[in-house]
Amino acid sequence: MNETKLFKRTAISVNMLWIFVFVLVPNLMVVAISLVERDTVSFFRWVPTLANYRGLFDPIITKVFINSLEYSTVTTVLTLVIGYPFAWFLSRVSAHRRSLLLMMVIVPFWTSSLIRTYALVILMKANGVINSTLIALGLVKGPVSILYTDIAVYVGLVYSLLPFMILPLYAVLEKLDYGLIEAAHDLGASNFQTFTGVVLPLSLPGVMAGCIMVFLPSMGLFYIPDLLGGAKSMLVGNFIKNQFLTAGNWPFGSAASVFLIVIMFIMIGVYMVVMKRLNSSVIP
Amino acid sequence: MRRFIGVSWLTAVYAFFYIPLLTLIVYSFNSAKFTTVWKGFTLDWYVRLFQNRQLLDAFFNSITVAVVSSIIATVIGTLGAFAVNRYRFAGRKVFFGLVHSVMMSPDIVMGISLLMLFVLMGVETGFLTLLLAHVTFCLPFVIVTVHARISGFDPAVVDAARDLGAGEFATFFRIILPMILPAVLAGWLLSFTLSLDDVIISFFVTGPEFEILPLKIYSMVRLGVKPEVNALCAILFLITLAAVALAHFLVTKESRQ
């Protein structure tokens, strides 16, 4: 075998093998194990069953899932509502100032979400900064409970995931040709019409990418309700974690994970369909 | 008016991002132990941190995993990005699709799937399993970062090198690598940060014998706010800040050229 072939084969096979062994196989295992019976000694036995999926329709568990979907949906909407104008204004800042401002969004993007969640605990706890400030200002008499409520979970999720919404939005808005907006105005379109007819459709890929990057992880971030939420705040992630680490029920936990995988494929599927439509409509 | 709305919107969001982090850093220097009322400046918590054997061990464990896994991911990922760009091979599209799906798939699914893989293969959870897991979630970021850079330049450069008699090896090390080096370094720094900060995946694949910092912090924070943790988190934030700033600098510098 000559050098070129050796190099080529090594480069390809190491990568393919790694992804195969540590991504494809484990994910297929999740699907397989979700379809077999539980075993208290060896975690599962190879007896096919749909009981794990039926178990997900138990009213108590369905409630957890619906709650979690609600958390994720509201978080996605909130990050979009806050993030879209932010990304738009950021893309309009003059180029030499933008570099630093963009950097200031990238830093929270990469900072550990656990550390950022912990920072919120300091702010929101009963004798925390927010309460001390409110009391000092005389706005409230005693500490208000913020921590261990639903609101704290929402603040935590939005705080953790907002950069994941902003960056894809910024990426498309920054490339947007401003001439198109001027053209729309010249042709008599109002601001609102320009937004719905020109800016929004062109930024749709960013909106969708942002929604995927917020919605999917928001169901798994189990430490956010753990640290900020009350007894009833639970995400699908908390449920899966409990099944694997407390209940030792691999098949049931796997079925819940398959639910997340299915949502992921649906979202990616919708994204690809919209992209295809968009490409064929913009470029004739 | 519009300018006013823009500036206030940007300011409000930046305040939302940075007030909690700055508070964390400020209070890591606060001498009060139980309240968040400011009682005076102290370096006590940092001193205590460096006297806490367990935390220091966890810190070095985390750094070891982050350094080793980010180097492995960078080496493999750089070759992968090159292969995807230059060669046409069976399964190329599936491979690239899987790489992207890893970046999107929820951490918790990767965590439990790797846990099951390791348990069923009989690999004891600890350093090795953490390492394998961390390489796995860093790899796609390296491949995508480096691939973006490789596809940016003229393929004729490679053909010219080949025409002049360079082998694939020499072409890669002497032509490609120097050109993509900033992206490789950026990918490495980002992998390092990603590894150092990961909670969810590590939570499932680590063993009782091998403690790492994020999980140690998690278990401490669940029991309440502690001033040492403030100091620790402040240090970790500054490490992330330095790594990201450097990576950003490398990427923007190269795109300006």
Q: Is residue A246 part of a domain?
A: no
Neighboring chain B residues of A122 at a CB cutoff of 8 Å = 20, 23-24, 27, 36, 225, 230
How far is A123 from chain B, CA to nearest CA, in Å? 7
Query: Average pLDDT, whole number, for chain A?
Result: 90
Q: Structure pTM?
A: 0.90
Query: Which residues share a beta bridge with A36?
Result: A48
CA-CA distance, B32 to B38, in Å (whole number)? 7
Cβ <8 Å between B240 and A18? no
CA-CA distance, A265 to B105, in Å (whole number)? 9
Q: How confident is the model at residue A3 (pLDDT cuts 50, 70, 90)?
A: confident
CA-CA distance, A35 to A198, in Å (whole number)? 47
**Cβ neighbours, 10 Å, residue B212:** 27
Residue numbers of the domain that contains A142 = 68-234
The predicted pLDDT at position A1 comes to 54
Please give the structure tokens belonging to residue B127: 């350093």
- Dihedral sign for Cα atoms in the order B201, B206, B208, B210: negative
B92, with CB counted inside 10 A (0-12, 13-18, 19+), is middle
Taking only the tens place, the pLDDT of each residue in A122-131 is 888 877 778 7
CATH code of residue A170: 1.10.3720.10
Q: Is residue A284 part of a domain?
A: no
Interface test mutation site (partner A, options B38, B59, B93, B105, max chain A beta carbons within 10 A):
B105
Q: For residue A250, is pLDDT > 80?
A: yes
User: How confident is the model over A231-235, as a mean pLDDT?
Assistant: 83
| Interface check B164 vs A, CB under 8 A | no
Q: Is residue A2 part of a domain?
A: no
Instruction: Tell me which amino acid residue B41 is.
Output: F
CA-CA distance, B222 to B131, in Å (whole number)? 26
Neighboring chain A residues of B112 at a CB cutoff of 8 Å = 30, 240, 244, 253-254, 257
Query: From its phi and psi, is residue B224 left (phi > 0), alpha (psi between -120 and 50) or beta?
Result: left
User: How confident is the model over A27-38, as a mean pLDDT?
Assistant: 95
How far is B87 from chain A, CA to nearest CA, in Å? 8
Taking only the tens place, the pLDDT of each residue in A134-189 is 888 888 877 777 888 889 999 999 999 999 999 999 999 998 888 888 899 899 88
CA-CA distance, A284 to B37, in Å (whole number)? 63
State in words which class domain B53-256 has: mainly alpha
The predicted pLDDT at position B35 comes to 63
The predicted pLDDT at position A284 comes to 42
The helix-helix angle for A3-19 and B92-104 (nearest 10°) equals 40
Instruction: Tell me which amino acid residue B14 is.
Output: Y
CA-CA distance, A163 to A217, in Å (whole number)? 13
Please give the structure tokens belonging to residue A239: 């449920």
The predicted pLDDT at position B122 comes to 93
**Residues contacting residue A235 through CB under 8 Å, at least 6 positions apart:** A68, A71, A72, A218, A219, A220, A221, A222, A224, A225
Q: For residue A282, is pLDDT > 60?
A: no
Cβ <8 Å between B20 and A85? no
Taking only the tens place, the pLDDT of each residue in A176-201 is 888 888 899 899 888 889 898 889 98
**Chain B, window 169-198: residues with a beta carbon less than 8 angstroms from a chain A beta carbon:** 169, 172, 190, 193-194, 196-197
The predicted pLDDT at position A278 comes to 79
Alpha helix ranges (H) inside chain B: 2-27, 44-51, 53-86, 92-104, 107-121, 127-150, 156-163, 168-170, 177-197, 200-205, 213-222, 227-256
Q: How far is CA B191 from CA B61, B70, B197, in A?
A: 16, 5, 10
Mean pLDDT in each 10-residue stretch from start to end of chain B (257 residues)?
89 95 90 74 88 89 96 96 88 89 91 96 94 96 91 83 84 87 90 92 92 90 81 90 84 63
Neighboring chain A residues of B20 at a CB cutoff of 8 Å = 116, 119-120, 122-123, 159
Mind giving me the DSSP string for A170-184?
A: HHHHHHS-HHHHHHH
Q: How far is CA A15 from CA B75, B98, B110, B195, in A?
A: 10, 11, 18, 19
The predicted pLDDT at position B249 comes to 81
Would you list the domain boundaries of chain B? 1-42, 53-256
Neighboring chain B residues of A86 at a CB cutoff of 8 Å = 9-10, 13
The predicted pLDDT at position B68 comes to 97
| Chain B residue nearest residue A20, CA to CA | B95
Q: For residue A18, is pLDDT > 70?
A: yes
User: How confident is the model over A226-255, as a mean pLDDT?
Assistant: 91
Q: First and final CA of chain A: distance in angstroms?
A: 47
Considering chain A, what percentage of its residues have pLDDT values greater than 90?
60
Mind giving me the DSSP string for B189-227?
A: HHHHHHHHH--HHHHHH--TT---HHHHHHHHHHT---H
Please give the structure tokens belonging to residue A238: 């908390």
